[in-house]
């Protein structure tokens, strides 16, 4: 069942919420002293599973679970529809997009800085088919407030990318820092980065590298048959996968790693330690 439809059909006691923070950490336990297991972006709809004090366990659209502070969310009432589930939606296309309380970059500081892929509801009168030459788009933030963002930072109705376009996109993130549990342009971890690239091809893939390699949406291929867009998995063995990246052709792959310098970078598959650590190659079905 579609995640938004399932969310809408939930009873009020198990209703969902929308992320209001630019990027909300998900923890392994209801404490900021616990490790960060993933993140959810502003505008993401999540299902609420369990509450403990000021914390709630959530499930994201990729079926990942973790604990999140309630302050990062706006809980839905029984009559609310999921955020950005109807009407025009603006999705951040720049690596970062500033959101202002009025259509001016000089009068006040930005109220939010949002990462790539954050989603915003477009308010009537500023849809892409009206005022096409207008610089600004008026949006309703997930917390209910209205604000403005620059049209050049967002796109409407994004289409799935080809492999070539996905590789072009991946290069825009070169130098973005490594962040354990990260899923945004503020910082990715290896599987969060690869998952985002696959998502831009229109495919929702599991969150963690070992689950990605075992996922039924991919099939094994031999190293000698690699082609651009294939996924690479590294580790001690096929049962102990700890890293992933995307093959971009000519013996190279792009990944987010702490090796050498932390961040998104392009490496050669023939170099150490990668050639020794490669344990699985996968192609999307």
Q: Do you know the residue count of the chain?
A: 285
| Residue range of the domain that includes 178 | 163-284
Say which CATH number the domain at 214 has: 3.90.1720.10
Residue whose structure tokens are 């207008």: 134
Rounded to an integer, what distance in angstroms lies between the CA atom of residue 67 and that of residue 53?
A: 11
Count of the separate structural domains present in the chain: 3
Say which CATH number the domain at 120 has: 2.30.30.40
Pull the structure tokens for residue 108.
């006040």
Residues 59 and 94 in one domain: no
Contact yes or no for 40/60 (Cβ under 8 A): yes
Each residue's pLDDT tens digit, 251-278:
999 999 999 899 999 999 999 999 999 9
Catalytic residue set: 190, 243, 255
Residues 144 and 213 in one domain: no
Each residue's pLDDT tens digit, 144-203:
999 999 999 999 989 999 999 999 999 999 999 999 999 999 999 999 999 999 999 999
Residues 279 and 186 in one domain: yes
Q: What is the mean pLDDT of the chain?
A: 93
Contact yes or no for 45/3 (Cβ under 8 A): yes
Q: Last residue of a domain, which of 50, 75, 100? A: 75
Residues 210 and 274 in one domain: yes
Rounded to an integer, what distance in angstroms lies between the CA atom of residue 285 and that of residue 172?
A: 26
Residues 115 and 8 in one domain: no
Please check whether residue 82 lies inside any domain of the structure.
no
Rounded to an integer, what distance in angstroms lies between the CA atom of residue 62 and that of residue 145?
A: 27
Residues 131 and 209 in one domain: no
Q: Last residue of a domain, which of 141, 156, 171? A: 156
Please check whether residue 215 lies inside any domain of the structure.
yes
């Amino acid at each position: 069942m579609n995640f938004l439809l399932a969310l809408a059909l939930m009873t009020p006691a198990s209703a969902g919420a929308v992320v209001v923070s630019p990027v909300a950490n998900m923890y392994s336990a209801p404490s900021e002293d616990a490790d960060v297991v993933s993140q959810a972006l502003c505008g993401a709809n999540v299902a609420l599973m369990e509450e403990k004090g000021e914390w709630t366990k959530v499930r994201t659209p990729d079926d990942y679970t973790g604990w999140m502070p309630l302050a990062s969310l706006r809980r839905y009432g029984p009559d609310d529809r999921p955020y950005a589930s109807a009407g025009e939606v603006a999705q951040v296309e720049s690596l970062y997009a500033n959101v202002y309380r009025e259509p001016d970059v000089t009068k006040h500081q930005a109220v939010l800085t949002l990462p790539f892929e954050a989603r915003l509801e477009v308010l009537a009168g500023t849809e892409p088919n009206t005022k096409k030459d207008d610089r600004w788009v008026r949006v309703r933030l997930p917390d209910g407030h209205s604000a403005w963002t620059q049209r050049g930072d967002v796109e409407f109705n994004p289409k799935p990318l080809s492999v070539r376009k996905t590789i072009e996109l991946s290069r825009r993130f070169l130098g973005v820092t490594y962040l354990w549990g990260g899923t945004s342009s503020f910082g990715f971890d290896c599987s969060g980065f690869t998952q985002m690239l696959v998502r831009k091809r229109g495919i929702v893939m599991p969150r963690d590298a070992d689950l990605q390699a075992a996922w039924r949406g991919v099939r094994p291929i031999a190293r000698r048959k690699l082609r651009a867009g294939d996924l690479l998995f590294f580790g001690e063995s096929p049962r102990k996968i700890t890293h992933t990246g995307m093959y971009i052709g000519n013996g190279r792959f792009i990944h987010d790693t702490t090796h050498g310098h932390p961040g998104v970078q392009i490496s050669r598959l023939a170099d150490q330690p990668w050639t020794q650590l490669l344990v699985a190659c996968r192609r999307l079905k």
